[in-house]
A and B are shown apart, each in its own frame.
Chain A
């Protein structure tokens, strides 16, 4: 049996290499002997060419032909499999087995490069123009907008700022909701109408709303100008939203120029032209009964505030919704939005009538500096005159 050189190598092997005349004691032999270079050192198997794992397996099983996989780690890896597969594909039948063994990994690498190498000769790029882009091919903004990307705001861009217009919007909303309730239609369907025609709006504007405490009693709430106006408004609002049973009073208004705005949104947007004069220039309605109309019913309250927001352009937050119990409260809240308190104290004090009547109080909007003091004392004129004499001030 071949001796196990591995164990004896550090001690015995140098002794073979050195001359017999040169004696080195056993303690000094470790440091004296040149250490073998790790890259040069090759693995030696004490017995045969079988790897260490195979030997362990044989020892464990107690036989020279143990069952199971020879490699306990599952055979060759994915990279080795790929290389082997490619090499098999590339190999022609006439190629001999020896060339494959001798070429090793370098040849396989060349074959792989031939696979993906461009046909054109290689030129080193100086700029990134024309180079292949890695990663995502484009940003989200590079793609064309889809239908889901389009967003149309519910609130209009313009906001009503005049108190008369706010009252008109609230009155219109109250009349519309009363009409929808009488027609037994979903209240929020009114929001499909962005703007009424002039004729329809005039009839709405002339309607009166008598507040009724009991919200279930809806008969006496709306007071129309006349029966014709009532029929017309009922006809118009029957077309709003989902179509219900056909109306009996439609035959008289089919030839009128009333155009119902229950169509598509595009048509409604096109009809929305009167930004300069909202509500066709109608003033604040004379009727004040609608102001005390109760909004305790949650459905009514939600529909009213939604429609009011749509007409006025003002967003009403949840905290304000909780405290709104009638239409007057809603208008009061909008008034705070339209007329916000001046943020600067100086503006508040200057508008304070009590302070305005007191002669010994002066309120300034800006900080008082030394320049103001010089002006007050008349010193500034002297300074400027002195500077002019010296040619330092023009």
Chain B
């Protein structure tokens, strides 16, 4: 019996069908002893399973960092890292920070001055004197 492919029609997703999450790994560091890690310990016990299930494309590593404040470190596709110290934060606040790191692109934060941001600096292109009609002064 010949193999038949699945008949399906490509769905237009406005160019976002092949979206790759820029965050590839999240590291959660905590301290067993320090009080500033209390929220972090609670987050790892209660929120981490659901967070990991909801984001299967992100690798999650949990490791202790004794005698240090708890941090969440995000590793991105562009090779950069972002670290957020979550000392004394509650588990809900830590979840917000984890989502922030997950949704980040990994680039440095830049101030957006223009309403439109594009790779092409100008739609009309750069002016050249050798192109176009002959100008008369």
- A residues lining the B interface (CB < 8 Å): 343-346, 348-349, 352, 354-355, 358-368
Which residues of B are found within 8 Å of A362, using beta-carbon distances? 59-62
Nearest Cβ on chain B to A385's Cβ, whole angstroms: 25
Which residues of A are found within 8 Å of B41, using beta-carbon distances? 345
Find out whether the CB atom of A361 lies under 8 angstroms from the CB atom of B64: no
* Chain B residue with Cβ nearest A362: B61
Which residues of A are found within 8 Å of B48, using beta-carbon distances? 349, 355, 361
Find out whether the CB atom of A345 lies under 8 angstroms from the CB atom of B32: yes
Find out whether the CB atom of B64 lies under 8 angstroms from the CB atom of A346: yes
The answer, among B27, B30, B32, B52, for a CB contact under 8 Å with A360, is B52
The answer, among B44, B59, B61, for a CB contact under 8 Å with A368, is B61
Find out whether the CB atom of B53 lies under 8 angstroms from the CB atom of A349: no
User: How many Å lie between the Cα of A345 and that of B60 in the bound state?
Assistant: 16
Nearest Cβ on chain A to B10's Cβ, whole angstroms: 29
Find out whether the CB atom of B56 lies under 8 angstroms from the CB atom of A354: no
Q: Which residues of chain B (75-92) have a CB below 8 Å from chain A?
A: none
The answer, among B52, B55, B59, B64, for a CB contact under 8 Å with A345, is B64
Grouping DSSP codes into helix (H, G, I), strand (E, B) and loop, the B interface class, with mixed when no group exceeds half, is mixed
User: How many Å lie between the Cα of A193 and that of B52 in the bound state?
Assistant: 57
User: How many Å lie between the Cα of A365 and that of B30 in the bound state?
Assistant: 11
Find out whether the CB atom of A344 lies under 8 angstroms from the CB atom of B32: yes
Find out whether the CB atom of A361 lies under 8 angstroms from the CB atom of B52: yes
User: How many Å lie between the Cα of A354 and that of B52 in the bound state?
Assistant: 11
* Chain A residue with Cβ nearest B27: A368
A-B contact pairs, 14 of them (CB 8 A): A346-B63, A346-B64, A352-B49, A355-B48, A355-B52, A359-B56, A361-B60, A361-B61, A362-B59, A363-B62, A363-B63, A367-B63, A367-B64, A368-B61
User: How many Å lie between the Cα of A354 and that of B53 in the bound state?
Assistant: 10
Nearest Cβ on chain A to B63's Cβ, whole angstroms: 4
Q: Given A345-B30, A345-B44, A358–B53 Cβ distance below 8 Å?
A: yes
Q: Is B45 an interface residue (CB 8 A)?
A: yes
Find out whether the CB atom of A364 lies under 8 angstroms from the CB atom of B60: no
User: How many Å lie between the Cα of A361 and that of B45 in the bound state?
Assistant: 13
Grouping DSSP codes into helix (H, G, I), strand (E, B) and loop, the A interface class, with mixed when no group exceeds half, is loop
Number of A-B contacts (CB under 8 A): 60
Which residues of B are found within 8 Å of A364, using beta-carbon distances? 61-64
Find out whether the CB atom of B62 lies under 8 angstroms from the CB atom of A349: yes
Q: Tally B residues with Cβ within 8 Å of A.
A: 22
User: How many Å lie between the Cα of A367 and that of B63 in the bound state?
Assistant: 6
- B residues lining the A interface (CB < 8 Å): 27, 30, 32, 41, 44-45, 48-49, 52-53, 55-66
Nearest Cβ on chain A to B137's Cβ, whole angstroms: 63
Find out whether the CB atom of B62 lies under 8 angstroms from the CB atom of A361: yes
User: How many Å lie between the Cα of A344 and that of B64 in the bound state?
Assistant: 9
Which residues of A are found within 8 Å of B32, using beta-carbon distances? 343-345
User: How many Å lie between the Cα of A352 and that of B44 in the bound state?
Assistant: 11
Which residues of B are found within 8 Å of A354, using beta-carbon distances? 49
Most buried by B among A343, A361, A362, A367: A361
Find out whether the CB atom of B60 lies under 8 angstroms from the CB atom of A349: no
Which residues of A are found within 8 Å of B64, using beta-carbon distances? 344-346, 364-367
The answer, among B45, B53, B60, B66, for a CB contact under 8 Å with A348, is B45
User: How many Å lie between the Cα of A360 and that of B59 in the bound state?
Assistant: 5
User: How many Å lie between the Cα of A366 and that of B53 in the bound state?
Assistant: 24
* Chain B residue with Cβ nearest A364: B63
Nearest Cβ on chain A to B58's Cβ, whole angstroms: 7
Find out whether the CB atom of B58 lies under 8 angstroms from the CB atom of A360: yes
* Chain A residue with Cβ nearest B65: A367
* Chain B residue with Cβ nearest A348: B45
Nearest Cβ on chain B to A123's Cβ, whole angstroms: 62
Nearest Cβ on chain B to A171's Cβ, whole angstroms: 36
Which residues of B are found within 8 Å of A366, using beta-carbon distances? 63-64
The answer, among A348, A355, A368, for a CB contact under 8 Å with B63, is A368
Which residues of B are found within 8 Å of A365, using beta-carbon distances? 64
Nearest Cβ on chain B to A376's Cβ, whole angstroms: 10
Which residues of A are found within 8 Å of B62, using beta-carbon distances? 346, 349, 361-364
4 A-B pairs with the lowest CB-CB distances in the bound complex, closest first: A364-B63, A354-B49, A368-B63, A363-B62
User: How many Å lie between the Cα of A338 and that of B88 in the bound state?
Assistant: 32
* Chain A residue with Cβ nearest B33: A343
Most buried by B among A343, A345, A346: A345
Which residues of B are found within 8 Å of A363, using beta-carbon distances? 61-63
User: How many Å lie between the Cα of A354 and that of B47 in the bound state?
Assistant: 11
Nearest Cβ on chain A to B60's Cβ, whole angstroms: 5
* Chain B residue with Cβ nearest A343: B32
Apart from A345-B44, A368-B61, list 15 A-B contacts with CB within 8 A: A345-B45, A349-B44, A355-B48, A355-B49, A358-B49, A358-B53, A360-B57, A362-B59, A362-B60, A363-B61, A363-B62, A364-B61, A364-B64, A366-B63, A368-B63
